[in-house]
Structure 1
Amino acid sequence: MMTKASSLREALKLYFVIGSVNCRTDPVAVLEESLKGGVTCFQFREKGEGALGPNKAELAKELQKICKRYGVPFFVNDDLELMETLDADGLHIGQEDGDIPSTRSRIAGKILGVSVHNLAEAQKAVRIGADYVGVGPIYPTETKKDTREVAGTRIIQMFRSGGIALPMVGIGGIQHGNAGAVIRSGADGIAVISAISLSDSPRQAAQALKREVNGLGQH
């Protein structure tokens, strides 16, 4: 279990987020290929049109097994009961996903990630004991239809200059070619969905993103 911010920052470098609706092929195969390519953290997010109902727990278990095999943290998006059932490494929630302080108290000892869109939300996340924040949308995205206004990398710089020292990932429209700018602006990592899940080769897509995150260029 990760307890130190430094190890969490490392784990958040290349954060892959999917559910069944985000993949053209078997999500189990997509995840495994992405892990071979260097994904460092995974979030199961089963939302959107066509999402699985009660059967989502079975898929979640399969994906969790793969993460354990590769030694990569497995988080659940906005489903506290599923997170507890699976004994997942943590939970990620948005601003509209219930009472954040009570969620923090219920999952003491687990990682809590919170989506934030402005400095006030980020400061609140710090106060209630979030372990990391997801910041965005950085760039325009088609994956989530209910996103806020595109913020650009300047919002990460603003958070850092405003004293937000928590581990931080940028999310929203990040792909090969613009990922490096997110890291240079002060983020510890990038969270991606379609940049890997819809790629012809999730493994190669992950490798390219990992190189960019590590400052090794775009090629």
Structure 2
Amino acid sequence: MNPSNWRTYLVTQASLSGDRSTPDIVRAAIDGGVDAVQLREKGTSARSRYETGLEVRELTAAADVDLIVNDRVDIARAIDADGVHVGQSDLSVAVARDLLGPDAIVGCSTSTVAEARAAAAAGADYLGVGAVYGTTSKDVDADADGIGPQRIADIADAVPIPIVGIGGITPANATPVVEAGATGVAVISAITAASDPQAATERLAAAVETPKEVGHGGIDE
């Protein structure tokens, strides 16, 4: 699937899932219609992340859902993921592209127009922009209060690639993010910590199925 078609994007984190495993959460999210999954699992060993990734890859491949690995290009290659997502302090977009090849999906975290333009110029396929509403996740670089939907609009107008809003997003506040120009939204706790991850994914998908203005992010819908 092309990132321009992503509406709901799950970022995994087992520490937020209670007594459920990451594959359990991913399976439920797939049943709820998720479009992409990012294997994050911060705080776990490389071997644990690899082993979890193998299980998740089997689930996503069967469902034709894109699997992206956070930071670790080596694990992305080892589990035959569809791509990798890098932050501002990780390997560069260009290096990730060189290592994974032209067909891999390479995403990049940004929070400013300047970062977004640089990532797009370096060859990123999509951007993760945030934190939109603020977050406690160390994976998202932004002010505690969030950058807000207006920054989403500014970045969507500045780059020709899809963007995914992330950070503090729930079904209750997702709609303004896509109305501002995001292709979709990425969440961690809104699905992972939910009592019913499948239903939470369905609610999130319903919230983002909103017509987008022509011209944002270079995508006409």
Confirm whether residue 134 of structure 1 aligns to residue 99 of structure 2: no
Distance 2:129 2:4 in 1: 14
Picking from 136, 144, 153, the partner of 2:149 is 153
Question: Quick one: percent identity of the two aligned structures?
Answer: 33
2:74 alignment counterpart: 81
Question: What does residue 200 of structure 1 align with?
Answer: 195
Cα distance in 1 for residues equivalent to 2:17 and 2:138: 14
Pick from 111, 117, 120: which aligns with 2:114?
A: 120
> How far is 1:215 from its partner?
2.9
Shift of 1:53: 4.3
5+ unaligned residues in a row in structure 1: which ranges?
A: none
Contact 1:115–1:135 at 8 Å: present in 2 too?
Answer: yes
| 3-state SS of 1:186 partner | coil
2:69/2:75 contact within 8 Å kept: yes
Aligned-CA RMSD value:
1.6
Following superposition, the deviation at residue 145 of structure 1 comes to: 7.2
Q: Per-residue CA shift, 1:86-135, capped at 9, x if unaligned? A: 12100000000023322222222200000011111111111111000000
Q: How many residues align?
A: 207
Tell me if the contact between 1:179 and 1:213 (Cα under 8 Å) persists in the aligned partners: yes
Tell me, in whole angstroms, the C-alpha distance in 1 between the residues paired with 2:94 and 2:42. Answer: 23
Q: Which residue in the other structure is 1:98 paired with? A: 91
1:211 aligns with 2:206: yes
On the 8 A contact 1:20/1:52 being kept in 2, the answer is: no
2:148 alignment partner, SS class: coil
Counterpart residue type for residue 59 of structure 2:
I
**What residue in structure 1 maps to residue 31 of structure 2?**
36
Kindly provide the amino acid, as one letter, of the partner of residue 148 in structure 2.
G
Counterpart position of 1:164 = 159
- Match of 2:69, SS state, is strand
Aligned mates of 1:28, 1:160 — CA distance in 2: 32
- SS state of the match for residue 9, structure 2? strand
For structure 2, the 5+ residue unaligned runs are 212-221
Q: Distance in 2 between matches of 1:145 and 1:39?
A: 20
Q: Secondary structure at the match of 1:55?
A: helix
Asked which structure has the greater RCO (Cα within 8 Å, sep 6+), the reply is 1
- Structure 1 position 184 matched with structure 2 position 182: no
Question: Secondary structure of the equivalent of 1:75?
Answer: strand
Kindly indicate whether the alpha-carbon contact (under 8 Å) linking 1:104 and 1:112 is maintained by their aligned counterparts in 2. yes
The TM-score normalised by the length of structure 2 is: 0.89
Q: How far is 1:69 from its partner?
A: 1.4
1:62 to 42, 55, 59: 55
Contact 1:138 1:152 in 2 (8 A): yes
